[in-house]
Every structure is written in structure tokens, then in C-alpha cells.
């Protein structure tokens, strides 16, 4: 079983993939091509993706039962003791600036209102 997920890719690439696989949702293709055909399809996807990104998942004989490849994706597959995991990029939220002035609680405490 093979699944290819395309994001922000040209319509021509989607049309090309429908020759070999079934498009079950926008940009999600599923099928059971041979290993040789799967590798050719993946090379075509990498060549014609443009600014988009792609993800390939296929069954294999390992502990997880599947493996995946990414192209132009921020999340990267990483091998961890025989298991393939996804490493997401670290995102640090921007620091929120402190508000000027007194808080509502301190104003109530200051003036004795409860």
C-alpha cells in the first residue's frame, strides 16, 4: 500500500499521479504500485512539486510495518533505535511584552475594594 500526500502542488502533477493511483481527497493519493513504479512516481513528484511539499508513506518489512519519505517539508523523519519518528522544528513563541501600569488586582488591593 502506498500513500502520497501533496500540499500546494500543480494540478498537472495531481493529474499525473491519477494515472497510477486513486485520489481519495484533494492531494491524497492511494494505491499499490510496484516498488519500481513507486520510486519513479516519487522522483516525478520531487521534480514537479514547485513550492509545494510532499509526503510518501508505503508498507515495508520492519517493526512499524511502514516507512515514509518527505520532500520540502519542515518535519523530518529521524531514525531512533530502529523506529522512524517525526522531528518537528522547534518553535519558540515570541515573548509577550509586559503591560504598562498596575494590574487590576493591585488597584483593588491599593484602594481597599474587594
Q: Are 71 and 43 in contact (CB under 8 A)?
A: no
Q: Of 29, 26, 43, which is closest to residue 1 (Cα–Cα)?
A: 29
Query: Exposure string (b/e) for 86-97, b if CB count within 10 Å is 16 or more?
Result: eeeeeeeeeeee
Query: Average pLDDT over the chain, rounded to whole?
Result: 89
- pTM here? 0.74
pLDDT, tens digit, 9 for 90 and up, residues 33-61: 999 999 999 999 999 998 899 999 999 99
Amino acid at each position: 500500500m502506498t500513500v502520497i500526500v501533496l500540499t500546494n502542488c500543480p494540478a498537472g502533477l495531481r493529474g499525473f499521479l491519477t494515472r497510477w493511483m486513486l485520489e481519495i481527497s484533494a492531494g491524497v493519493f492511494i494505491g499499490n504500485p510496484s516498488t519500481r513504479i513507486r520510486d519513479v512516481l516519487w522522483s516525478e513528484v520531487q521534480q514537479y512539486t514547485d513550492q509545494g511539499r510532499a509526503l510518501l508513506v508505503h508498507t515495508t518489512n520492519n517493526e512499524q510495518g511502514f516507512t515514509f519519505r518527505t520532500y520540502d517539508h519542515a518535519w523530518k523523519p529521524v531514525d531512533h533505535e530502529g523506529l522512524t519518528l517525526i522531528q518537528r522544528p522547534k518553535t519558540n513563541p515570541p515573548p509577550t511584552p509586559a503591560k504598562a501600569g498596575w494590574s487590576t488586582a493591585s488597584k483593588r488591593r491599593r484602594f481597599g475594594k474587594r
